[in-house]
Structure 1
Amino acid sequence: MNIEQLDGCLREALEALFAEDGELLERDAAERSIGAKLAARLTQMFPEYHVDVEYDKHGLDPKRVDLPEYCRGGGRRRIIPDIVVHRRGIDDYNLLAIELKKETNRESRKCDRAKLEAMKRELNYQAGVLIDLPAGPRATERASELVWV
């Protein structure tokens, strides 16, 4: 599956999220809560894959990647991606890694992008995307920003 196809599926899932669970965005609910609802929609779109929220395993071991110095001091670090579309235990079928941030979260996105790049490089994910979600009053009237890495 190419980036354009993944982008189309992800935008369709986000549309459904906004339509059916937009209240979570309007209430500025936790990213985990929003991520779980997005993952449920992605599960329907990718029936041949597992769609997991905060999946922290690489085989039976913790998921670790090499991060640059500006991310928690750098080096080999344990990571917990927000959402992954993959087949558990098989690196050959790691399709998509997703990091979510709400616009109300003022943290830099630099480390999220670095984590996604490392997952592609070291864990064989085909694609990574950082999704900046609108949050707060009238959030559903604003668009999400998708940054593919």
Structure 2
Amino acid sequence: MGHVLGERSDVIGRRDEDADDLSYDRPEASGTMADRFTLATSGPSEFVFQEITLAPGQSTGWHYHPGEVLVVVRSGALTRYEAEGTCSVHTAGQAFMERAGAMNIHMGRNRGTTPVTLCLMYIKPVDSPLSIACAPH
């Protein structure tokens, strides 16, 4: 028989009598992406969650990712530049995907006056870096 999250103390480190105190009503971050997408990996994958805050005027620098990245904009507006020349703006409550590989070089910049907070989920090959800095082609 399977276990419900919070039912076993060894699953999440809480005593069973505290299980009723758990709340799943408020997600850490939530965003909507209009496009349909698929994920594919070429071998064992590692999932990494990260929150990044960019101050006004700050950028990520040009980079690419060895694996796929799902991004939710928690606050602010991120301007995202692709090396091929396209530009898009993602605002709070929106989600987008960054595709894997050196052919997907991009940079994010906070062009606003308030911080941009991003919640990221990297789905990457085991033991690979989160991102690789590079120059645009």
Asked whether the two chains share a fold, i.e. TM above 0.5, the reply is no
Higher helix share: 1
Higher strand share: 2
**TM-score, normalized by length of structure 1?**
0.23
Name the larger-Rg structure: 2
Tell which has more relative contact order, 1 or 2 (C-alpha 8 A, sep 6+): 2
